[in-house]
């Protein structure tokens, strides 16, 4: 089966009978679900009901990311190294669904009385440099922003190192951001404001179709035909609760997560501003005068810096992603942390995390905040981020063997 939007490849699908699958790790699932439910109730009582629900939305994101293995890092790497484009086409489907829903809502400006606005970043040198560094870093670190969180929740110890470096890099990026903001830029450009939401929608859908078509052409040129996933032997309910999910399910689920965030928070989903907040709070605790940094000079950011992290929407959703992925890993029977990490891989985790954290601040977001939510917001900087980060990923893919990291190449299924 093949078409311009063939999304059928999914390396996690299996033909193994249900009896041979790992048993559910009940203790892990119990702890994770308890954390989500108790945390949601506590947040609803101490902060707001919306904050409690946003923790659950983050949990749903973690479950979706883990079960669908919806990573941006590996999808780009496999395409760049071996022209397998199913993951990239799944991202185009996700973005297409998002703009179909978001553009009319953002143009209207409110939903059920709740004001909503997009994430519009400046188009300039800072975005190009930051996104390139982010793309390079995510290939060395082993995951993007959302990927780092859901793999940490799934029990990947190496990704804890990446996350720690990510947080440190985010704080450094926050400190340096005012300098980068002074570099040449065109300012924020909203395609909805510039073209109108309907023409902007048509333009974006055409671009998504073009990217999907190019990926399909390149895959066919390399392999003859797109890869086809094996038909799973498990039933629908089993796959829904224990995974693995097809990429299409993951794409739809992430659009719903972003929509829920827009409706509850009044703005789209983001990830890495929480890392900058955590890193800056740690820096403040060890003696740095963080309040004097230009990044924290605005009233809203200054308030967030001095408030509890549980009052920060992005932080709460990040916590939810980790806990949700932990529940998903327990349901899949795959929560098994390993502390054996080769030295070169550990170095790559540190370098990759620092680059991602620093780059995300320069580029006004990560694969979620700048790429997914930026494009869904009609921000031109989202497309610039995509191009620069893909270039950085190419460099990162070439650099992976220097750190003893594999570059996957799928088996040729062509004729």
Q: Using DSSP, state whether 31 is helix, strand or coil.
A: helix
* Residues 6+ positions from 248 with CB-CB distance below 8 Å: 7, 90, 93
Name 122's bridge partners: 188
Measured between alpha carbons, how far is 415 from 117 in angstroms, rounded to an integer? 49
pLDDT of residue 225: 85
Query: How much is the pLDDT for 340?
Result: 87
The residue with greater pLDDT, 334 or 14, is 334
Of 369, 374, 363, 393, the C-alpha closest to 124 is 363
- Cα–Cα distance for residue pair 63/245, rounded to 1 Å: 10
Q: How far is CA 328 from CA 19, 229, 247, 250, in A?
A: 19, 22, 16, 13
Q: What is the pTM of this model?
A: 0.91
Question: What CA–CA distance (Å, rounded) separates 245 from 8?
Answer: 11
- pLDDT score for 1: 36
- Tokens of residue 292, six digits: 């004097």
DSSP 286: T
Assess whether pLDDT exceeds 90 at residue 305: yes
The arithmetic mean of pLDDT across residues 282-291, rounded, is 95
Q: Which two tokens stand for residue 411?
A: 């088996």
Quick one: which of 331, 335, 351 has its CA closest to 343? 351
State yes or no: pLDDT of 179 exceeds 90: yes
- Residue bearing the bigger pLDDT, 6 or 248: 248
354-410 per-position pLDDT tens digit = 999 999 999 999 999 999 999 999 999 999 999 999 999 999 999 999 999 999 765
**CB hemisphere CA count around 141 (13 angstroms):** 39
Residue 10 has pLDDT above 50, yes or no: no
**What number is the average pLDDT over the span 128-149?**
96
Give pLDDT, residue 232: 65
**Encoding tokens for residue 24?**
């559910």
Q: What share of the chain is helix, strand, coil (3-state, %, to 5)?
A: 70, 5, 25
Residue 11: is its pLDDT beyond 70?
A: no
CA distances from 171 to 253, 274, 288, 348, 352 (A): 30, 10, 11, 19, 15
pLDDT score recorded for residue 231:
66
Q: Mind giving me the DSSP string for 107-125?
A: HH-EETTEE------EEEH
Mean of pLDDT over the chain: 91
Q: Is 181 exposed, middle or buried (0-12, 13-18, 19+ CB in 10 A)?
A: middle
Query: What does the block give as tokens for 143?
Result: 């995951």
pLDDT grade, residue 122 (50/70/90)?
very high
Q: What digits encode the pLDDT tens for the residues 28-84?
A: 999 999 999 999 999 999 999 999 999 999 999 999 999 998 889 999 999 999 999
| Cis amide prior to 244 (ω within 30 degrees) | yes
Alpha carbon distances (Å) from 275 to 108, 214, 263, 267, 278: 31, 35, 23, 18, 5
Q: How far apart are CA 327 and CA 321, in angstroms?
A: 10
């Amino acid at each position: 089966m093949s078409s311009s939007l063939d999304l059928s490849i999914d390396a996690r699908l299996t033909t193994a009978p249900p009896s041979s699958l790992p048993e559910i790790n009940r203790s892990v699932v119990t702890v994770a679900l308890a954390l989500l439910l108790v945390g949601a109730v506590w947040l609803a009582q101490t902060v707001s009901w919306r904050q409690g629900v946003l923790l659950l939305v983050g949990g749903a994101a973690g479950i979706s990311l883990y079960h669908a293995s919806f990573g941006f890092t590996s999808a780009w790497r496999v395409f760049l190294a071996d022209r397998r484009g199913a993951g990239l086409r799944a991202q185009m489907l996700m973005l297409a669904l998002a703009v179909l829903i978001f553009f009319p809502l953002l143009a209207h400006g409110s939903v059920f009385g709740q004001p909503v606005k997009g994430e519009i970043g400046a188009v300039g040198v800072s975005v190009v440099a930051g996104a390139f560094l982010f793309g390079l870093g995510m290939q060395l670190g082993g995951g993007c922003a959302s990927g780092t969180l859901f793999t940490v929740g799934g029990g990947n110890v190496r990704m804890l190192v990446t996350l720690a470096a990510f947080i440190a890099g985010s704080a450094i990026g926050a400190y340096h951001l005012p300098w980068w903001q002074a570099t040449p830029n065109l300012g924020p450009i909203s395609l909805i404001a510039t073209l109108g939401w309907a023409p902007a929608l048509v333009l974006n859908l055409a671009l998504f179709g073009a990217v999907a078509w190019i990926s399909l052409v390149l895959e066919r040129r390399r392999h003859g035909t797109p890869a086809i996933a094996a038909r799973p032997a498990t039933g629908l309910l089993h796959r829904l609760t224990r995974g693995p999910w097809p990429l299409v399910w993951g794409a739809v689920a992430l659009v719903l997560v972003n929509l829920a965030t827009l409706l509850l928070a009044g703005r789209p989903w983001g990830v890495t501003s929480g890392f900058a907040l955590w890193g800056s709070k740690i820096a403040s605790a060890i003696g740095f005068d963080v309040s004097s940094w230009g990044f924290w000079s605005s009233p809203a950011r200054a308030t967030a810096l001095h408030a509890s992290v549980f009052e920060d929407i992005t932080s709460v959703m990040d916590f939810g992603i980790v806990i949700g992925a932990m529940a998903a890993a327990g349901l899949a029977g795959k929560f098994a942390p390993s502390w054996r990490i080769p030295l070169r891989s550990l170095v790559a985790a540190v370098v990759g995390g620092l680059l991602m954290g620093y780059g995300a601040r320069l580029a006004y977001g990560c694969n979620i905040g700048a790429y997914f939510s930026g494009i869904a917001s009609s921000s031109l900087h989202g497309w610039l981020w995509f191009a620069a980060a893909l270039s950085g990923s190419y460099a990162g893919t070439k650099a992976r063997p220097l750190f003893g990291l594999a570059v996957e190449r799928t088996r040729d299924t062509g004729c």
